[in-house]
Amino acid sequence: MAIPSGARYRIGGVEFAVVNDGTYMYDAGAIFGVVPRVMWERVAPPLDDRYRIPLGLNCLLLRSRGKTILIETGVGGKPGDRDAATPAEQGTLLTSLAALGVTPEEIDVVVNTHLHADHCGWNTSADGELLTPTFPNATYVINSAEWQDATHPNERTRATYLARNLDPIADRLTLADGELAITDEVIFAPAPGHTEGHSTVVVRSGQEWGVYLGDMAQHRAQLERTPWVSGLDVLPLVSMETKKRLMDECIEAGALVMFCHGPYPGVGRMTRTPEGFRKWEDVAPLAHEHAEGDDHAHSHSHPHGQEHA
Ligand SMILES: [Zn+2]
Ligand SMILES: [Zn+2]
């Protein structure tokens, strides 16, 4: 069964597609950190036999001002990248791009919100022993502090900052110190907390904007409840403040929120309930403009995201 991919959205004049690198299983306790299990198990999906929950690997393909931009590159497809999942379930980004008619050569800019292994795996590809950039014509946009940390891992970060995702692109970098305009519509912006150099991608067009969250959360309950800081965050209190500020800005503006680790396609809006609580609402993709009267394979109606019901 083909995994879902290619869901389209629009922010002002910028159209983008959510391309899918599959599903990533991760330890639920590590995700929810200090939050007691009796609280998170009410909202989390069922654990597998290794106490893990499924995370989406939603990447974005965006065109702006003549540039083809890929935000995030998933777990990748090199030996070791797939973490024991089958190739049909994980590491599907290139297949997803091909389904949209996009070749790796066409990507002008790759953006990594940070360099944990589940966000930059397809930065590089393996041909036997030889590692090469997967996107041969792309510049790779990365926060400079993140690049420093990733290329000098410590005993805690060594398992996720992998030289095989980084070394082959070392001469293709655009390192950002602070905010960087990739185009006037696509802004790479610091959002520290998950890591010191962690960044988001803000898309602005006309009166509308939206934000790709990177790893600001792994489950939407963490977006709704700001004290629910992920156990994976290296600066938890900074992370909480960053998230609180951004979520409130998104609620105020009705901004579109693009969520890497949410269930596919992971696009929604943050709203506020009458009681004053923050609440995630799924947003359905645009309808197929070239539909040929045969849309039964595409279930686009998830008005309130009941996948955990
Ligand atoms: Zn991360
Ligand atoms: Zn992640």
Confidence at residue 86, expressed as pLDDT on a 0 to 100 scale: 67
Confidence at residue 301, expressed as pLDDT on a 0 to 100 scale: 44
Distance 158 CA to ligand 1 centre (A): 13
Phi, psi of 252 (to 5 degrees): -60, -45
Within its chain, how far is the Cα of 148 from the centroid? 21
Ligand approaching nearest to the C-alpha of 119: 2
Phi, psi of 177 (to 5 degrees): -100, 100
Q: List average pLDDT for each run of 10 residues in the chain, which is 309 residues long.
A: 85 97 94 97 94 96 98 95 75 96 98 98 96 98 98 95 98 98 98 98 98 98 96 97 98 98 97 97 85 44 40
Q: What angle do CA 239, 63, 291 make, to 5 degrees?
A: 110
| Pairing of β 208-212 and β 186-190 | unpaired
Ligand approaching nearest to the C-alpha of 159: 1
Distance 16 CA to ligand 1 centre (A): 23
d(CA 133, CA 124) in angstroms, rounded, equals: 4
Confidence at residue 84, expressed as pLDDT on a 0 to 100 scale: 65
Distance 119 CA to ligand 2 centre (A): 6
Sorted by where each starts, the structural domains of the chain and their CATH numbers stand as 7-282 (3.60.15.10)
Distance 274 CA to ligand 1 centre (A): 33
Distance 285 CA to ligand 1 centre (A): 26
Q: What is the pTM of this model?
A: 0.92
Confidence at residue 6, expressed as pLDDT on a 0 to 100 scale: 92
CB 281 within 8 A of CB 304: yes
Confidence at residue 289, expressed as pLDDT on a 0 to 100 scale: 58
Ligand approaching nearest to the C-alpha of 197: 1
- DSSP secondary structure letters along 6-54: -EEEEETTEEEEEEEEEEEEEEHHHHHTTS-HHHHTTTSPPP-TTSEEE
Distance 228 CA to ligand 2 centre (A): 16
- The tokens for 222 are 């963490």
| Positive or negative torsion for Cα 290, 292, 298, 303 | positive
By CB neighbour count within 10 A (0-12 exposed, 13-18 middle, 19+ buried), where does 307 fall? exposed
Distance 171 CA to ligand 1 centre (A): 23
Confidence at residue 228, expressed as pLDDT on a 0 to 100 scale: 97
Amino acid making up residue 229: V
